[in-house]
């Protein structure tokens, strides 16, 4: 089955710097890669996602890149702000061809943005 | 996106008892899922709640311990049976929106369960 590895487990940056979180996946059939942000005591919130027919996607200060050959994808946050501090989870799923498309999550990255 | 609510938001229970968690969505959805998130950990899928049929459980989770119902396209329940302290976790439901991408999931607020 699918296995998703996420690095680093913790990341501390200064406000205004960039942050990069990386994930690798094992199942070449995976074709959907969402990122969730979870603030303390709150539900995971979808912040951006990418599908396997796209190499990069941007939404304001957030971008995700996908390398299907190497089976890894990354989250990039530019101009970080204190409110970006949270735990970020990557996930992967393989939808279509009869699959239920269950999301498999990475272990999470705790991002701290220091003012 | 759909508005998802869960009841209760939190509970403290005695070992050996059972708790039923409800998940309500304000619109019809194709898929509903139940996850467990242990303190400081990632999300683990317990099962897919299928409307009108038995839930599909992931490895390590069984129906006797986590019975699930899904009577319609907007509601599901998860029961945590014969609880032990190891069941202390946050339980979250998630949904895939009907008519949207078939794989985008949104989460409910979660139920924080403490077993004494």
Decide: B95 and B26 in contact? Cβ < 8 Å. no
Decide: B107 and B60 in contact? Cβ < 8 Å. no
SS3 of B5-51: EEECCEEEECCCCCEEEEEEECCCEEEEEEEEECCCCCCEEEEEECC
Mean pLDDT (whole number) for A5-33: 96
Instruction: Report pLDDT digits (tens) over B52-89.
Output: 888 999 999 999 999 999 999 999 999 999 999 999 99
Asked if the model's pLDDT at residue A53 lies above 90, the reply is no
Q: Which of A44, A95, A105 is closest, CB to CB, to B102?
A: A95
Question: CA of B110, closest CA in chain A: separation in Å?
Answer: 7
* Residue A115 CB contacts under 8 Å (≥ 6 apart), including other chains: A15, A82
Q: Are A34 and B105 within 8 A, CB to CB?
A: yes
**Predicted confidence band at A36 (pLDDT cuts at 50, 70, 90)?**
very high
Q: Give the Cβ contact number of residue A47 at 10 Å.
A: 16
Identify all chain A residues contacting B33, using CB atoms and an 8 Å cutoff: 102
Identify all chain A residues contacting B92, using CB atoms and an 8 Å cutoff: 43-44
Cα A8 to chain center, whole Å?
12
């Amino acid at each position: 089955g699918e296995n998703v590895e996420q690095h680093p487990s913790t990341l501390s940056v200064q406000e205004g710097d960039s942050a990069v979180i990386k994930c690798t996946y094992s199942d070449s059939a995976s074709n959907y890669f969402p990122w969730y942000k979870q603030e303390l005591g709150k539900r995971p919130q979808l912040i951006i996602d990418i599908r396997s027919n796209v190499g990069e996607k941007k939404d304001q200060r957030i971008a995700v890149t996908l390398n299907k050959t190497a089976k890894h994808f990354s989250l990039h946050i530019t101009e970080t702000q204190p409110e970006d501090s949270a735990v970020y989870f990557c996930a992967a799923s393989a939808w279509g061809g009869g699959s239920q498309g269950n999301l498999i999550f990475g272990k999470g990255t705790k991002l701290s943005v220091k003012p | 996106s759909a508005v998802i609510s869960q009841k209760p938001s939190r509970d403290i229970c005695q070992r050996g008892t059972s708790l039923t968690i409800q998940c309500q969505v304000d619109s019809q959805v194709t898929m509903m899922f139940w996850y467990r998130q242990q303190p400081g950990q990632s999300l683990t899928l317990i099962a897919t709640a299928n409307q009108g049929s038995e839930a599909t459980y992931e490895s390590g989770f069984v129906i006797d311990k986590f019975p699930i119902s899904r009577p319609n396209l907007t509601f599901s329940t998860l029961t945590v049976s014969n609880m032990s302290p190891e069941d202390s976790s946050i339980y979250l439901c998630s949904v895939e929106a009907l008519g949207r991408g078939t794989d985008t999931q949104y989460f409910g607020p979660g139920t924080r369960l403490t077993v004494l």
